[in-house]
């Protein structure tokens, strides 16, 4: 009995302990679940707050960006820079089998970038140069060789010095650069030089020859680049055509000859922008440079470490100066032409709208007339 009583007592005691332990672990498990649920709720709250904060930040950032864009657009609305495909055009490469995409300098709000040499060589675009002959007097023995590059609206006419030809402008990359900047360039062989079949002409006839050439090429809004010997062609044409300066947009004499053949008053009457180019060591033509400074709207480009043929000795510096000058000449003209196109299109739109209003009025009159006829017919039938 005693043994049975002891067994029952121990069993009851252990059962009680087990039950108590079970309740304890159950309580602990329940408390743990509640605790972790509370933590999850707090995490969700924290996560929710963080997400809200991020979304709010993104919205504020977007509003700020939009505001800045509106302000920037308002400030630059008159700059007329367009980056769509209409501003770009393509020109054929040297072989003519592929095309190179070009955006004209004049369509950019900012000044053109500066050219740099890469391993001692400048980066010249391999554009296609068209070579052909034109007849000045409809005779085979009076032909002039022309090298043409580019398809831009604004034209550049390149003459050459005594020891050179139109091929010179291709060798140093001027034709290629002008085409890649958005201009249409024409380099010609002067009479008696290069592949030109014309005989050498006297200075008195030079201006007439150049006038016929410009007409044959149908040039307008053009700039003349004239080095050394070609000055006897360009100077009389530019100075004697000051009444037609709407056609010539700029003049670039490079240490030209013949400057002493004209009076100071003739230079002072010249109103077109002029870029006077000369080499730093070209002391022989210093008097010519001083004479050209009588032109009111002149700029000076002194090419360092160069003599008379400075544009060939330092082509990179020459091309940089040329590019900036052409931009200052043609950019205002481009803007003015754009304004006229916009005004013209707006005027046509207003005319169309007014015509539409007149048509509407006519329709209204016809409708009212037909209504009166209907009413009159009803009265007669009654």
DSSP string, 176-213: HHHHHTT-EEEEEPPTTSTT--SPP--HHHHHHHHHHH
Closest Cα to residue 255, out of 211, 312, 208, 199? 312
Closest Cα to residue 184, out of 228, 220, 160? 220
- Residue 101: count of CB within 10 angstroms of its CB: 9
**Contact partners, residue 172, CB within 8 Å, separation at least 6:** 311, 312, 315
C-alpha span between 236 and 238 (Å, rounded): 6
Catalytic sites, residue numbers: 228, 282, 308
Chain centre distance of CA 355 = 37
36, containing H or E segment: helix 2-75
Phi, psi of 293, deg, nearest 5 = -70, -5
Handedness of CA 40, 41, 46, 48 (dihedral sign): positive
Residue 271 near residue 245, CB atoms below 8 Å? yes
Phi, psi of 160, deg, nearest 5 = -145, 170
**Contact partners, residue 12, CB within 8 Å, separation at least 6:** none
C-alpha span between 188 and 194 (Å, rounded): 9
What token pair was written down for 227?
A: 């080095």
């Amino acid at each position: 009995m005693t043994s049975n009583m002891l067994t029952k007592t121990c069993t009851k005691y252990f059962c009680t302990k087990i039950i108590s332990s079970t309740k304890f672990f159950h309580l602990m498990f329940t408390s743990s679940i509640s605790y972790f649920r509370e933590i999850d709720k707090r995490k969700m709250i924290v996560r929710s707050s963080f997400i809200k904060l991020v979304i709010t930040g993104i919205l504020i950032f977007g509003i700020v960006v939009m505001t800045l864009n509106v302000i920037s657009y308002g400030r630059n609305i008159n700059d007329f820079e367009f980056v769509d495909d209409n501003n770009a055009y393509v020109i054929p490469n040297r072989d003519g089998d592929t095309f190179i995409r070009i955006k004209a300098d004049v369509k950019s709000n900012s000044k053109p970038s500066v050219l740099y040499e890469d391993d001692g060589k400048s980066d010249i675009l391999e554009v296609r140069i068209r070579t052909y002959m034109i007849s000045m007097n409809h005779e085979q023995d009076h032909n002039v060789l022309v090298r043409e590059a580019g398809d831009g609206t604004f034209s550049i006419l390149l003459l050459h010095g005594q020891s050179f030809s139109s091929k010179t402008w291709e060798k140093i990359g001027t034709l290629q650069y002008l085409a890649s900047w958005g201009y249409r360039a024409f380099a010609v062989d002067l009479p008696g030089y290069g592949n030109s079949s014309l005989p050498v002409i006297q200075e008195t006839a030079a201006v007439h020859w150049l006038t016929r050439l410009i007409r044959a090429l149908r040039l307008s809004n053009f700039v003349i680049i004239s080095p050394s010997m070609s000055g006897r062609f360009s100077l009389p044409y530019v100075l004697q055509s000051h009444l037609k300066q709407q056609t010539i947009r700029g003049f670039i004499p490079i240490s030209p000859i013949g400057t002493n053949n004209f009076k100071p008053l003739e230079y002072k009457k010249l109103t077109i922008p002029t870029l006077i180019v000369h080499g730093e060591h070209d002391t022989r033509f210093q008097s010519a440079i001083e004479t050209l400074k009588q032109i009111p709207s002149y700029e000076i480009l002194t090419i360092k470490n160069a003599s008379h043929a400075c544009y060939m000795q330092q082509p990179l510096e020459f091309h940089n100066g040329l590019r900036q000058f052409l931009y200052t000449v043609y950019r205002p003209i481009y803007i003015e032409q754009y304004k006229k196109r916009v005004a013209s299109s707006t005027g046509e739109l207003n005319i169309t709208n007014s015509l539409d209003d007149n048509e509407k009025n006519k329709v209204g009159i016809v409708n009212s007339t037909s209504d009166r006829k209907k009413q009159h017919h009803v009265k007669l039938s009654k």
